[in-house]
Amino acid sequence: MRYSQLALLLLTGFFLVFSASNAVLAEDTALDADGKRLEALLTKRIDKTKASLQELDKKLITTGKLHIEKTDTYYAATLPAFKIELDEKDMLNIGLIAINATPIKDSTDWKMSVALPMPIYFDSKEGERLGQIDLGSQQMGGIYSDKLDGFKKLDAIYNNIKYADFQSSTRINIGSVKLSNDYAENKAGLLSGPSTFLLKNIAITPQKNDLMFQIESMDVNAIIKNYDPALKDKTQQTLLDTSSDKILDNNFASTIVDLLKSSGNSEVKAFIKNISAKDKKTKENAFNINNLSLANTTSMSGDNRFGQTYSLKYDGLSFGKKEEFDDFIPSSLKTGLELKNIPIQSILKESEKVTSIDSKNTEAKKKASDAFKTNLIQLFKSANTVVKLNDTSIKNDLYHIDTKGDLRASTKSPLGAVGNLTLSFTGLEQTMEKLKSSAIGKQALPQLAIFQMISEKKGDKNIAVLELGENGSIMINGKDMSAMSGLLGG
């Protein structure tokens, strides 16, 4: 049983609660105006979710009908029994999902709560029970927006989640899962706000492994700014309706740009605490990471220049059983990459000039490809595109390596770019001495010896500064690299 099947449920549970088939109709009960509006909302969510599952190569099977009943203060909806065909062999048997919904006065939004049936089963198509998910308790509710086609305010908590694979005896236990978001709409209909996803006390015990894995917590925080749900729906539908032979026509570039614009600007940060692997029998640590963090931002400017940043950081990496190579593995690391001012629409339009030429016309295709490469440098230059390696650090008790740099397009340089990279190595001599008695020394020592020769010694650091010049020069610490071509294998 693949762990991704459990993740499919946990990460998109609130998205799947409205999964149903187009053919599922509401029971023939008398509904007032709000009841019919709720029926239309669920039907809309039904159609889109079914299509989304199909994109993931999953198939939804339903039994029964959608039932909506009005009480004194709210509408009680029961969805059909759901099964999701995960692959050719396995099914996710969810069952009946219950929804309570109250219309909000002077608004098209709904106050809504959702309850998943328990347990949820993994079955084979032949009817064999393969696995099971249990929830100790659950609470999910918020404000559902018809315009957003989802929860714009959400608070959900699931406690004591247990997954059992009956075939392999694999077990996954999660102490709690919390989901929340709080989006506000501006006058232009754009949404902004935070969302969180928090898991605590994760324990994974694979059957076919001598180790068990534990994570104390996993905390994901996201902020979106100016998300445009209407534009998102429009561009996604355009792509779905476009046949493969027309996908690279003249509207493709603007459609992709609109899709990026619709997502607005976003920032996502993930923090994972105390990742460990332990021997099942002795309970001794095999490895441990104290803290792991990842971050990503995306942005789209008004003049269609796209940007992204990525960062990764960990500390406290250690191993229970001492191995020879442990002395050289970094106990901590941090790094970041920044892409600024990418002229995405202009690049796509230029690429269309190549893709529009028949592949059989090899001469014209090559000519267009060469022109594309030249024009691409000019596009990057005009947009002031920058690729930046932010302060990167790799270290342990033996050494400490720091590096940073940036790269920019240049129409003057034969290399097509100018830039610089600085690398500082503290503890180089001690590391090389240690490697002499190590099995991995043969691979690492020659490269470190070259770095030692071309770097400058400043205190306890060996520093090398690489520069790409406008004239195509490649310099290290002010020295022309061409003089060292023989040494470097040139």
**What's the per-residue H, E or C state across the chain?**
CCHHHHHHHHHCHHHHCCCCCCCCCECCCCCCHHHHHHHHHHHHHHHHHHHHHHHCCCEEEEECCEEEEECCCCEEEECCEEEEECCCCEEEEEECCEEEEEECCCCCCEEEEEECCCCEEEEECCCCEEEEEEEEEEEEEEEEECCCCEEEEEEEEEEEEEEEECCCCCEEEEEEEEEEEECEECCCCCEEEEEEEEEEEEEEECCCCCEEEEEEEEEEEEEEEEECHHHHHHHHHHHHHCCHHHCCCCCHHHHHHHHHHHCCEEEEEEEEEEEEEEECCCCCEEEEEEEEEEEEEEEECCCCCEEEEEEEEEECCEECCCCHHHHHCCCEEEEEEEEEEECHHHHHHHHHHHHCCCCCCHHHHHHHHHHHHHHHHHHHHHHCCEEEEEEEEEECCCCEEEEEEEEEECCCCCCCEEEEEEEEEECHHHHHHHHCCCCCHHHHHHHHHHHHHHCEEECCEEEEEEEECCCCCEEECCEEHHHHCCCCCC
Would you say residue 486 has pLDDT above 60? Answer: no
Would you say residue 256 has pLDDT above 90? Answer: no
Q: What pLDDT shows up at residue 466? A: 95
Would you say residue 21 has pLDDT above 70? Answer: no
Q: What pLDDT shows up at residue 449? A: 93
Would you say residue 7 has pLDDT above 60? Answer: no
Q: What pLDDT shows up at residue 462? A: 97
Higher pLDDT: 22 or 370? It is: 370
Q: What pLDDT shows up at residue 402? A: 97
Mean pLDDT is lowest, of 137-146, 385-394, 432-441, for 432-441
Q: What pLDDT shows up at residue 89? A: 82
pLDDT band at 207 (very low <50, low <70, confident <90, very high): confident
Q: What pLDDT shows up at residue 4? A: 41
Q: What pLDDT shows up at residue 380? A: 95
Dihedral angle computed from the Cα positions of residues 26, 32, 33 and 36, in that order, rounded to the nearest 10 degrees: 0
Would you say residue 9 has pLDDT above 70? Answer: no
The reported pTM is 0.85
Average pLDDT, the chain: 86
Query: One-letter amino acid identity for 362?
Result: T
Higher pLDDT: 202 or 365? It is: 202
Taking the C-alpha atoms of residue 321 and residue 481, their distance in angstroms, rounded to an integer, is: 43
Mean pLDDT is lowest, of 177-181, 285-289, 308-312, for 285-289
Q: What pLDDT shows up at residue 25? A: 44
Which of 8-17, 90-99, 300-309, 422-431 has maximum average pLDDT? 422-431
Which of 46-50, 198-202, 370-374 has maximum average pLDDT? 198-202
Q: What is the pLDDT of residues 50-74, one digit of tens each?
A: 777 877 788 888 788 888 999 999 9
Would you say residue 173 has pLDDT above 90? Answer: yes
Q: What is the pLDDT of residues 465-485, one digit of tens each?
A: 999 999 989 999 998 875 554
Would you say residue 387 has pLDDT above 90? Answer: yes
Q: What pLDDT shows up at residue 391? A: 87
